[in-house]
A and B are shown apart, each in its own frame.
Chain A
Amino acid sequence: MRPAVEVRGLRREFRQRGRPPVVGVDGLDFDIAPGEFVGYAGPNGAGKSTTVKMLAGILLPTAGRVLVDGLVPWRDRRRLTLRMSVVFGQRSGLWWELPLRESFELVGRLYRLPAGDAATRLAELVDGLGLGPLLDRPVRVLSLGQRMRAELAAAVLPRPAVLFLDEPTIGLDVEAKAVVREFLRRRNAAEGTTVLLTTHDLDDITALCSRLMVIDTGRLVYDGTVEALRAAYGTERVLVVDLADTPAAFAVPGATLTRAEGRRRWLSFPRTVSAAAVIERVLAAYDIADLTLEEPDLEDVIRRIYRGEARPERNRS
């Protein structure tokens, strides 16, 4: 099957007057399969937006090859716009002064959707994103969360094959983030939309993405599953034990006591040790009120990659 996105040797330099050019993106190679939901993370200035701009046909690369849904973005930009949607978290694609309902109607016309089809689909999207009560309000009075939901509805209305999302949850409250994530998850599952999600929010990635690419100083430093990243570079897992009473001493073979507070104990153990074994040992030796298993914090893993403490090889497990 042809990849939805194909990138080979993609490079972008930015010329500066009187100084050597700055390399924004430095030799990217990756494929994204149709229907894949890929997270794209990296520190500020790592090259995330530059990549997305090149994939969307907004920016010309210095070198390299890109195909999005079989089209060269910068050469077939107009054709690609009908098959791809881009949502920029902090910029609006809607009509500021128009009521939301009319904005959606214009999007339908813009993408040449048959009127009946657009109406049915819109009703479904409005329902899924809880936009019903907002339809008669102009976009300029919507809150950021409401507007982002509206932007997403407009972006998927024309059934794009590929969806590029640039920080769609930035600045949203917890509830709005949850609605946006649930919506994206369902669209991807139901319609097989290929999604590339640029984000700083690792909860977005763990909630949505089967695959994560991490970029730093223009290069991919990780490309693989979220689980594999955790397994390979994660800090140890932690078992939080709530004891029924306070024993004189607390020690479990194969695990290290990292913290103690009242009757609560934190036990850290390497990924090579089975959690079941550790729990079994704890249960055998102590009277337990409750247990919680904490997975390694992905943010911490990625922070370590950025800092160069962990430099994983490219990995597509």
Chain B
Amino acid sequence: MDDLRLAVRLGRASAAAYTARPVLLLTGLVGAALAVGIEVLGVVLLLGQFGRLGGWDVHEVALLLGLVECGLSFAVAAGYSLETSTFAALVTGGEFDAVLTRPLSPLLWVLSRDVQPRELGRLAVGAATVVWGAHGAGVRWTPAHVGLAVLSVGCCATVLLAIHILGAAVTFRTGQGTEFVNAFIFGGATLASYPLQVFDLSLRVVFTYLVPVALTVYVPALVLLDRPGAPWAGRSLLPLVPVAAAGVLGAAVFAWRGGVNHYQRSGG
């Protein structure tokens, strides 16, 4: 717990350092906001043409998309140092040696080294999309609903960050970043932005049970929208959402530790 508090303090400091470079920060914020904005616009225009997707209207899909983008913003902001090529350079260049001499968990140290404030741009547009979608879909916000949305974003961020960590754990062994990770993070995020029932059963099962990005967004959204959901991914799975997120994070941390052990055994 002490470690976590320290890491939050270090992470805050590294994010705040960007305020000393306002142009970089501002272009980053606007860039991230625009990227999400264009994606939302694309979905809105597309559904404007087709009307509904798997029975969901444009507002309901926007709610999903917004929740995913919020989760992604936290995962990318925190996991920036684990980004494939950055982390591979840290391991192969020997910089990780210095990490192991610090009185903080190596994972928290690496995560807190570079926290990206530009992801606030993504978060802002994501949150606005959630509000717009929920309003259009007639969601009446009760404290329980707000709690559910927060839970969804938190769990989605946790799963996406865990994929980042798993990728880093592999990098300890291969010395190279793997695009596999980005496929799961951004592929998973894109997939989770649409109603699960439009996908093939196998894809649905993978992103619900194996890499539960979709589970963390789709199932809470079902409750928010008062919808029954798809076979194999109904509302009854709600209690599973935090459990699955914690489980995936636990597995990732376990794999990370194995990676660190491998680094210490092999000499980087």
User: Using Cβ atoms and an 8 Å threshold, which residues of chain B touch A111?
Assistant: 103
**Provided the pairs A53-B267, A95-B17, A97-B20 are in contact, do residues A82 and B103 lie with their beta carbons within 8 angstroms?**
yes
Q: When each residue 50-75 of chain A gets 1 if its CB lies under 8 Å from chain B and 0 otherwise, what string results? A: 10010011111000000000000010
Asked whether any CB of chain B lies closer than 8 Å to the CB of A110, the reply is yes
Query: Which residue of A59, A88, A110 is within 8 Å of B264 (Cβ)?
Result: A59
Q: How far is the CA of A77 from the CA of B6 in the complex (A)?
A: 18
Give CA–CA (A57, B98) in the complex, Å.
11
Q: Does B140 contact A (CB under 8 A)?
A: no
Q: Does A250 contact B (CB under 8 A)?
A: no
Residue of B21, B97, B103, B113 near A53 (CB, 8 A) is B97
B residues near A82, Cβ cutoff 8 Å = 103
- A81 sits at the interface (CB 8 A): yes
Whether the Cβ atoms of A110 and B103 lie closer than 8 Å is yes
Most chain-A CB neighbours within 10 Å: which of B18, B97, B265, B266? B97
A71-101, CB under 8 A of B: which get 1 and which 0? 0001001100110111010011101011100
Please, which residue of chain B has its CB at the minimum distance from the CB of A139? B17
Please name all residues of chain A whose beta carbon is closer than 8 Å to the beta carbon of B95 when the two chains form the complex: 91
Closest residue of chain B to A81 (Cβ to Cβ) is: B103
* B49 touches A (CB below 8 Å): no
> Could you tell me if A138 and B17 are in contact, using CB atoms closer than 8 angstroms?
yes
By the criterion CB–CB under 8 Å, are B101 and A81 in contact?
Answer: yes
A102 interface residue per 8 A CB criterion:
yes
Cβ of B155 to closest chain A Cβ, rounded Å? 29
List, in ascending order, chain A residues with CB within 8 A of B266's CB.
14-15
- Contacting residues, chain A, for B101 (C-beta < 8 A): 56-58, 81, 84-86, 93
Bound: A93/B104 CA distance, A = 13
A109 in contact (CB, < 8 A): yes
Specify the main secondary structure of chain B where it touches its partner: helix
**Closest residue of B by beta carbon distance from A57:** B100
CA gap between A15 and B266 in the complex, in Å: 8
Interface flag for A291 (CB, 8 Å): no
Indicate if the CB atoms of B6 and A109 lie closer than 8 Å.
yes
Q: Which residues on the B side are within 8 Å of A92 (C-beta)?
A: 98
Contact in complex: A74, B103 (CB < 8 Å): no
Residues 104 to 124 of chain A near chain B (Cβ within 8 Å): 106, 109-112
| Cβ–Cβ < 8 Å partners of A93 in chain B | 98, 101-102
* Contact yes or no, B97 A106, CB < 8 A: no
Tell me the complex Cα distance, A284–B83, Å: 77
Query: Are A102 and B13 in contact, CB atoms less than 8 angstroms apart?
Result: yes
Whether, in the assembled complex, B51 has its beta carbon less than 8 Å from a beta carbon of chain A, the answer is no
Given A53-B267, A98-B14, A138 and B103 contact (CB-CB distance below 8 Å):
no
A contacts with B: majority SS: mixed
Count, A-B residue pairs, CB within 8 A: 71
Contact pick for B17, options A56, A59, A77, A97, CB 8 Å: A97
Q: A53-B97, A91-B94, A138-B20 are in contact. Are A110 and B13 (CB under 8 A)?
A: no
Q: Is the CB of B9 closer than 8 A to any CB of chain A? A: yes
Given contacts A98-B17, A106-B13, is CB(A56)–CB(B100) below 8 Å? yes
| B122 to A: closest C-beta gap in Å | 21
**Complex CA distance for A86 and B264, rounded to whole angstroms:** 16
For chain A, residues 1 to 37, give those with C-beta under 8 angstroms from any C-beta of chain B. 12, 14-15, 24
Closest to A53 in B: B97
In the complex, whether B148 has a CB less than 8 A from a CB of chain A is no
Most interface-central of B10, B17, B21 (chain A CB within 10 A): B17
Q: In the bound complex, what is the Cα–Cα distance between A111 and B264 (angstroms)?
A: 23
Determine if A106 and B9 form an interchain contact, defined as CB atoms under 8 angstroms apart: yes
Closest to B3 in A: A78
Minimal beta-carbon separation of A266 from chain B (angstroms): 45
Collect the chain A residues with CB atoms within 8 Å of residue B265's CB.
60
Q: Is the CB of B102 within 8 A of A81?
A: yes
The complex places the Cα of A93 from the Cα of B102 at a distance, in Å, of: 9
Q: Assuming A50-B267, A59-B267, is B100 touching A95 (CB within 8 A)?
A: no
A85 to B102, CA, bound (A): 8
Known A81-B102, A86-B101; judge A110-B6 contact (CB<8 A): yes
The answer to whether A95 touches B14 (Cβ under 8 A) is yes
List residues of chain A with CB under 8 Å of any chain B CB: 12, 14-15, 24, 50, 53, 56-60, 74, 77-78, 81-82, 84-86, 88, 91-93, 95, 97-99, 102, 106, 109-112, 138
Question: Which positions in B face A, CB cutoff 8 Å?
Answer: 6, 9-10, 13-14, 17-18, 20-21, 94-95, 97-98, 100-104, 113, 264-267
A56-B101, A81-B103 known; 14 new pairs, CB 8 Å cut-off, are A24-B267, A57-B101, A58-B100, A59-B264, A74-B264, A86-B98, A88-B97, A88-B98, A97-B21, A98-B14, A106-B10, A110-B102, A112-B103, A138-B20
Across the A-B interface, the 7 shortest Cβ-Cβ residue pairs: A97-B17, A81-B103, A86-B101, A58-B100, A58-B97, A98-B17, A82-B103
